[in-house]
Structure 1
């Protein structure tokens, strides 16, 4: 392993020198009239207000002018981004694939990874997000984690001299509100910035779950679960940073941040059992529960940047230490019918993660070409604590699971234009060392008998290469063709590997699978882009071929009890065609439309199905923005997605429509009114249909709500007039 790590370091250090000897840097030729001075990677295709930017390996969508993003959460800011889907629970997918890596300013965050990521995305405010970068085939400069690709959230930044800032407040129904303040001071060589925000939310949710299992021995059973939940709580976001220019070529930066969530959840659940033949009433019970969920994320980081002579020739270093703590505890009183028997239930789940990351990047021009190389070293450790069962001392269990992962990576990308043709090739080498340790598991067998098992640590070390290739060809001043390829990996998450049972309720259990293998995906894309004035058209055909796909599998344990675990499928193939267009219908009316036809094929033979299963899903998004007067701005946006294939069934279609209005009162004061889910149609229905199990689970949430808010700019002289064109990236929830 040491040899492989040494090879990574040597490749990153020696390759720039080798290439420099082969091609000494020369001054770049002056661009021709109407021609960009940079290669395709840096060419920006823009509509008004830079709403849509495209480069050789990404698309960047502006959300700075989106009304829903100003009053809503990060989930709201993602729901109308082309290629992105967010369900009612906050789970994000990219072109139908839920294995998405979410970054903030190009860096990972434990807040948006692992257990509870969907909750965090639904509660953290979006008003500090400036752009959303979508990278379905990232270059080798980025980690290969996430078979679907990367969503990079770019936060707002300002470099205006002097002091600037803003305050905002938005209020909604049921006591819901969010507020925040930002500040920025540029003085001499130093820039100091900070932000603080708080979001209080209260929401009602309902789950209606009807399932029928067929048992060859006893004939099967039916269970109906009707659960209603009320949750309330807050999310806080604090950040402070400083940039200091040591010299004209050296800058150092430091940042401290904290993100936290604290929610209380009350539940009222009714469970009814029916035997066969249908209609024979079995036992039932009502479950009243109280739950508390906390998620705390804190990090400190330091950066250094050295600018060499010549444009785009620099060396950067980033060091970060991050701690993420997640806890969820549930206490419940269960009353059975008939008879009125009572029992208490308790469950607890906790995950504590420490992560240290060191990243060094070097880039330089080599004539018309561009070289980028670097090292990315990360160490993380996660402790999983689970406790569940009955307080009446009959079936309680507890366990501690420890997961350690070290990643040693080195990469290089080389980009060069050849007339109208541009090529970027990349290679990333990774050594991954994983240790899983089920430290102990304790079972209370009743009668005072406690059984304790100690586990044996298991190592899984592997070395892999991840190549990337991006090609671009300029057909004309207005049209470009692109083609790209990347190899991606979806490593099992910590909760996917933890074999200890996690108690959800009497009829729902969850456990990981320590034998999971990483999913490897080969992704291919062909694209066409057209731009003329404010109008842009983008068409992308894509195909992904995945092996050892990790997916949820539901097992029937009898008596209506279901265990959800994780398994590797044989193979999965999916592809499709995505269309995006934006422009102006009139000088005051702009539009953004996107559509996606997604085909998915699953080889689920190891799940009891015969042959392959396949299906096609159609989805679309629309955004209309009307600048009625210089001070009044209206917005309508929505999306719809058709029936989607899953390994054991399908998910039913979903849709959502939102409205927004903004009034410019003064140059500093803006008032915003938004209405979420106008038609009250947003819900999630999951269907399982196998020979031994049929289930339909319908989840709804009280998404429909109206918010009223304002934003007031502080300092910095007269603010720059806001741009109201919503050309490719204006979003809504």
Structure 2
């Protein structure tokens, strides 16, 4: 005990404190020795900023504590004796181990287990004491996933989930809002470990824009999921973990933002914890406007309609206005040290108003639009005004029970979800400058989902564990789509369809270690699925679909620590790509009758075998994680562009093409060369080869003409992203992010490269309780894409820009109660100076 503390205690002249002083003086008189050690996770990765408390069993006056550094290492001085060592760290379960300390030196490492991401179970904290420290790196590598922390991402502050995903390593957001991982768009989204109605039914882009970035705690990038996860998604899984506070007392934050193109939002995260009960409330709303362009220039061969070349030029512009509101309220109650329950209710609603116009012109031998000697129109001007309203509700319930003190656990959860989507539009069309008619569309969808899970963990000895579980999924989608042309029902674009799917899944995993360096995880998953589709068309009755599958999905994960900071990772898994519900429904999109999408009831699932070999180095200033990967997919599903010469329009339809191989190098790194400069980068070099064929039937001059088209494509492309953060002073940071996406080419398409630059700035105010953020997305207005499509008898060049340059300003205010464990009075890491919800100064 230091001299100033002894003086202060003596002046109080209290008998009780005098006793404490005597005990402390006795401890001070004991000979202390230097003790060091490290805290690691179950994959032997260091756990930074963990609290390590030493409780002497013979004399509490000998107790002491330390906080690990970035490398998970700690050091302190202790009196020799028998100690209970308690380790606590954010996102990890509390652990207590016993250590007999007799000599100076390193007492070895203590392993802690990560908290489950599929429940709302809180970290077990010492009463009234909470550890609070931001992550030392924006992402960390674990055995079966990478974890990205958006708190240090200035550019997405005040934005939404889509903005955050644009900055996540190994993830890309296309110009139309489509999310891909390593160039593959078959991504499975989860929220808190399970599918969620919050992400909509078939309108993922709008749904992601309605989830505020301020409510996201972290994103788990699972490129090769283990058997514990559902097998859907050949590209992998993105698990979005939403915030929940673990502080005592009443805590929270409020964030408001405004920007252009006009967008505003106001969101809050609130929590209240007292004793065994925690309440939390997250919610908010906003308004967003967007606009995009999509133009193409197409040329067609002689197919009997005309005897010479025909050219078609189409210019389209879309304008959208969206209002969104969302809220989540829930509670966690700890019955005792072994059992806790959680419950939450969520809702999200958004309304999207759109105004789309398409200007379509055809030319032939120089004939202008005033010549009307031909049956087909030489010019069309089409305008669509529509509205879509989406509402989703979700109730989650969970129970977690610690069976014994050896780590035997059981968790149960139930999720009830409902999603309603109602859309309608009015379409006017001018042909050759004359009024052609008025069309109306109605598109209503209802989805009801039940998900039940049971997970069990059984430790075996110090280094092994068995995990097993069961999951039940039931999803019912009802589609009602209708089109009226001048008040008359159009049977080609009208359908009523009931889609039902049911899954029963069982899994078992075994984890263990051999020695101190080698760890492995073996898993097996069995999924029994049944899909029923009942077409209740108003005119033509399609045959119903009844499909059942029973598939086995193995997974293997291996890791070897070649040094304290270096680790080799090797893994394998088998995955499935089940056709999305609306891919099986043969209804067509009618917002633009020159470009039609229709489903394919004959689609079958595709399967992929995925291999990864990675190497992870984690130093104090530098981390790098290069991963070589190879995927082989059978019965691959691809969107095929066709041209209907009989009806003069493009039609897009999914087909099971054949097989595809993808291979590449995915490398993520961070580098902090100076205290004022941080770098984070991602580089993906990938190649691909597809081969197969598809069959379809077209009409030429009213005669059916079956066609069998071979598909053979291969190529190599790149994707890269670099984020640079500058610390101007302790409270002011500036961030620049640039990305480049290389072109791709197959036998039926070619895509040009794309690049963009974003800027963000963050200023901490009000003694750390407030933050002002400013960002510009796409500074030079270059985030657009040019691509070419080649098909049977046509060639088309297209241009797309989904959103022009935007900027926004946001203000965050934090209020909090409850004590924090402060870092010991030694050389502090400057990364620990920031608040909980902001990027810390560098």
Regarding TM over 0.5, the answer is: yes
Of 721, 731, 735, which aligns to 1:621? 721
State whether residues 625 and 725 of structure 1, in contact with CA within 8 Å, keep that contact through their aligned partners in structure 2: no
State whether residues 468 and 508 of structure 2, in contact with CA within 8 Å, keep that contact through their aligned partners in structure 1: yes
| 571-580 or 305-314, which deviates more | 305-314
Name the structure 2 match of 1:225: 314
State whether residues 89 and 119 of structure 1, in contact with CA within 8 Å, keep that contact through their aligned partners in structure 2: no
Name the structure 2 match of 1:85: 172
SS at match of 2:488: coil
The Cα of 1:195 is off from its aligned counterpart by 1.2
Name the structure 2 match of 1:651: 751
Of 131, 137, 144, which aligns to 2:231? 144
Residue 713 in structure 1 maps to residue 807 in structure 2: no
State whether residues 114 and 495 of structure 1, in contact with CA within 8 Å, keep that contact through their aligned partners in structure 2: no
The Cα of 1:641 is off from its aligned counterpart by 0.6
The Cα of 1:456 is off from its aligned counterpart by 4.1
Residue 686 in structure 1 maps to residue 787 in structure 2: yes
Structure 1 pair 725–371 and aligned structure 2 pair: CA distance change class (3 A)? farther
Summarize the alignment of residues 201-240 of structure 1 with structure 2, pairs less than 5 Å apart.
201-218=288-305, 219=307, 221-240=310-329
Of 759, 771, 776, which aligns to 1:675? 776
Summarize the alignment of residues 324-343 of structure 1 with structure 2, pairs less than 5 Å apart.
324-338=419-433, 340-343=434-437
SS at match of 2:156: helix
Measured against aligned partners, the alpha-carbon deviations of 1:523-551 in whole angstroms (never above 9, x if no partner) come to 00001111111310111000000011111
CA distance in structure 1 between the partners assigned to 2:330 and 2:134 by the alignment: 32
State whether residues 145 and 491 of structure 1, in contact with CA within 8 Å, keep that contact through their aligned partners in structure 2: yes
State whether residues 483 and 489 of structure 2, in contact with CA within 8 Å, keep that contact through their aligned partners in structure 1: no
The Cα of 1:36 is off from its aligned counterpart by 4.8
Of 209, 220, 241, which aligns to 2:330? 241
Name the structure 1 match of 2:505: 409
CA distance in structure 1 between the partners assigned to 2:529 and 2:710 by the alignment: 36
Name the structure 1 match of 2:480: 385
SS at match of 2:525: strand
CA distance in structure 2 between the partners assigned to 1:425 and 1:606 by the alignment: 38
CA distance in structure 1 between the partners assigned to 2:139 and 2:392 by the alignment: 31
Name the structure 2 match of 1:188: 275
Name the structure 1 match of 2:675: 587
Name the structure 1 match of 2:359: 270
Name the structure 2 match of 1:494: 581
The Cα of 1:48 is off from its aligned counterpart by 5.8
CA distance in structure 2 between the partners assigned to 1:599 and 1:519 by the alignment: 20
State whether residues 135 and 149 of structure 2, in contact with CA within 8 Å, keep that contact through their aligned partners in structure 1: no
| 625-634 or 310-319, which deviates more | 310-319
Residue 510 in structure 1 maps to residue 597 in structure 2: yes
The Cα of 1:229 is off from its aligned counterpart by 1.8
Measured against aligned partners, the alpha-carbon deviations of 1:614-638 in whole angstroms (never above 9, x if no partner) come to 0001111101111211111111112
State whether residues 486 and 524 of structure 1, in contact with CA within 8 Å, keep that contact through their aligned partners in structure 2: yes
Structure 1 pair 307–48 and aligned structure 2 pair: CA distance change class (3 A)? closer
State whether residues 670 and 678 of structure 2, in contact with CA within 8 Å, keep that contact through their aligned partners in structure 1: yes
Structure 1 pair 584–132 and aligned structure 2 pair: CA distance change class (3 A)? same
SS at match of 2:198: helix
Structure 1 pair 34–655 and aligned structure 2 pair: CA distance change class (3 A)? farther
Answer 1 or 2: higher relative contact order, Cα 8 Å, separation at least 6. 1
Residue 474 in structure 1 maps to residue 571 in structure 2: no
Residue 703 in structure 1 maps to residue 800 in structure 2: no
| 465-474 or 33-42, which deviates more | 33-42
Residue 199 in structure 1 maps to residue 299 in structure 2: no
SS at match of 1:76: helix
CA distance in structure 2 between the partners assigned to 1:197 and 1:724 by the alignment: 28
Structure 1 pair 291–646 and aligned structure 2 pair: CA distance change class (3 A)? farther
Name the structure 2 match of 1:639: 739
The answer for unaligned runs of 5 or more in structure 1 is 1-26, 443-451
State whether residues 530 and 548 of structure 2, in contact with CA within 8 Å, keep that contact through their aligned partners in structure 1: yes
Name the structure 2 match of 1:570: 658
Measured against aligned partners, the alpha-carbon deviations of 1:678-697 in whole angstroms (never above 9, x if no partner) come to 11111133321234221122
Summarize the alignment of residues 14-93 of structure 1 with structure 2, pairs less than 5 Å apart.
33=107, 35-37=109-111, 49-93=136-180
What TM-score, normalized to structure 2? 0.78
The Cα of 1:647 is off from its aligned counterpart by 6.4
SS at match of 1:111: helix
State whether residues 326 and 350 of structure 1, in contact with CA within 8 Å, keep that contact through their aligned partners in structure 2: yes
The Cα of 1:644 is off from its aligned counterpart by 2.1
The Cα of 1:564 is off from its aligned counterpart by 1.1
Measured against aligned partners, the alpha-carbon deviations of 1:214-266 in whole angstroms (never above 9, x if no partner) come to 24333463221111122112111110001111222111111000111101111
CA distance in structure 2 between the partners assigned to 1:232 and 1:48 by the alignment: 36
The Cα of 1:577 is off from its aligned counterpart by 0.5
Of 610, 613, 617, which aligns to 1:530? 617
State whether residues 265 and 287 of structure 2, in contact with CA within 8 Å, keep that contact through their aligned partners in structure 1: yes
The Cα of 1:351 is off from its aligned counterpart by 1.8
Name the structure 1 match of 2:471: 376
State whether residues 47 and 534 of structure 1, in contact with CA within 8 Å, keep that contact through their aligned partners in structure 2: no
SS at match of 1:606: strand
Larger Rg: 2
CA distance in structure 2 between the partners assigned to 1:259 and 1:322 by the alignment: 11
Name the structure 1 match of 2:260: 173
- Which runs of at least 4 in structure 1 moved beyond 4 Å after TM superposition? 27-34, 38-42, 276-282, 607-611, 717-726
Structure 1 pair 197–703 and aligned structure 2 pair: CA distance change class (3 A)? farther
Structure 1 pair 725–60 and aligned structure 2 pair: CA distance change class (3 A)? farther
CA distance in structure 2 between the partners assigned to 1:596 and 1:228 by the alignment: 32
The Cα of 1:200 is off from its aligned counterpart by 0.6
Summarize the alignment of residues 405-484 of structure 1 with structure 2, pairs less than 5 Å apart.
405-419=501-515, 420-439=517-536, 441-442=537-538, 452-484=539-571
**CA RMSD of the aligned region, Å?**
2.6
CA distance in structure 2 between the partners assigned to 1:41 and 1:190 by the alignment: 19
Of 454, 458, 474, which aligns to 1:360? 454
CA distance in structure 2 between the partners assigned to 1:144 and 1:184 by the alignment: 34
The Cα of 1:455 is off from its aligned counterpart by 4.2
Residue 260 in structure 1 maps to residue 349 in structure 2: yes
CA distance in structure 2 between the partners assigned to 1:156 and 1:497 by the alignment: 36
Aligned length: 688
CA distance in structure 1 between the partners assigned to 2:752 and 2:144 by the alignment: 32
State whether residues 47 and 536 of structure 1, in contact with CA within 8 Å, keep that contact through their aligned partners in structure 2: no
CA distance in structure 1 between the partners assigned to 2:815 and 2:414 by the alignment: 33
Name the structure 2 match of 1:313: 408
The answer for unaligned runs of 5 or more in structure 2 is 1-95, 101-105, 117-132, 372-376, 696-707, 823-829
| 110-119 or 224-233, which deviates more | 110-119
Measured against aligned partners, the alpha-carbon deviations of 1:298-356 in whole angstroms (never above 9, x if no partner) come to 11111000012235421000101100122332211111214x13300122222211000
Structure 1 pair 319–395 and aligned structure 2 pair: CA distance change class (3 A)? closer
Structure 1 pair 532–264 and aligned structure 2 pair: CA distance change class (3 A)? same
SS at match of 1:460: strand
Structure 1 pair 129–494 and aligned structure 2 pair: CA distance change class (3 A)? same
SS at match of 1:67: coil
